[in-house]
């Protein structure tokens, strides 16, 4: 006849086995969740890029109340940060083969480029040695700060507009397009125009101030 103590020992062993197994399942579930690849749409680097890109677009919306000095001061700080954050964007793959919606219009582009041109005056033009047309000539090609900035804005505005909608699939593809365009197009435009903006802020402005002294 089985004693009460033997039954208790048996139940105790089963209980300990159950607890051990439950802990194992819990740990396995925890590990599986934390070993899954991070969604690039919500990664830290993407979120930080979204923040900087939105700041850039917001500043472009305020140019009517911005003077030349404020524009230059902001651009020489914001553009390097934008380049850094874009360079850290995660790699991802397209989900849909459909063409992505464009939110930036030609009229918006033209107005922005003209506003920047009016703001900078003669300093809007600079000589560019990395222009695609340079292979056809031995001399630098004239480029425009206003067009470079508008090109960057166009991509960022489209990107931010998709993120405002909040659909994972379209956000993923917008991230892919923005990162690809950065690598192939507007990343080069950014570093090119930054050189011109630096010269405008620290050389042209200094010469103007020295001229005012006489």
pLDDT truncated to tens, each residue of the chain (214 aa)?
444 445 445 544 544 444 554 554 455 454 444 445 689 999 999 999 999 999 999 999 999 999 999 999 999 999 999 999 999 999 999 999 888 899 999 999 999 999 999 999 999 999 887 666 555 666 778 999 999 999 999 999 999 999 999 999 999 999 999 999 999 999 999 999 999 999 999 986 555 555 555 4
> How many of the other CB atoms lie within 10 Å of CB of 52?
18
How far is it, in rounded angstroms, from Cα 6 to Cα 2?
7
Q: Do residues 139 and 122 lie in contact, with contact meaning Cβ atoms separated by under 8 Å?
A: no
- CATH number, span 40-213: 1.20.120.1550
Q: Which two tokens stand for residue 149?
A: 């900035």
């Amino acid at each position: 006849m089985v004693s009460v103590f033997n039954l208790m020992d048996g139940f105790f062993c089963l209980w300990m086995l159950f607890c051990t197994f439950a802990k194992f399942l819990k740990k396995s579930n925890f590990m599986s969740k934390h070993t899954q690849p991070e969604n690039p749409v919500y990664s830290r680097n993407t979120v930080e890029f979204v923040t900087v890109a939105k700041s850039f677009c917001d500043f472009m919306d305020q140019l009517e109340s911005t003077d030349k000095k404020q524009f230059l001061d902001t651009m020489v700080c914001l553009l390097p940060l934008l380049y850094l954050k874009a360079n850290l964007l995660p790699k991802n793959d397209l989900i849909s083969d459909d063409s992505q919606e464009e939110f930036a219009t030609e009229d918006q582009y033209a107005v922005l480029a003209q506003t920047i041109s009016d703001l900078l005056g003669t300093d809007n033009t600079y000589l560019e040695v990395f222009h695609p047309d340079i292979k056809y000539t031995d001399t630098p090609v004239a480029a425009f700060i206003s067009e470079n900035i508008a090109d960057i804005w166009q991509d960022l505005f489209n990107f931010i507009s998709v993120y405002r909608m909040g659909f994972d699939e379209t956000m993923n593809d917008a991230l892919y397009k923005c990162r690809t365009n950065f690598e192939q197009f507007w990343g080069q435009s950014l570093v090119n125009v930054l050189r011109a903006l630096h010269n405008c802020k620290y050389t042209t402005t200094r010469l103007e101030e020295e001229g005012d002294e006489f």
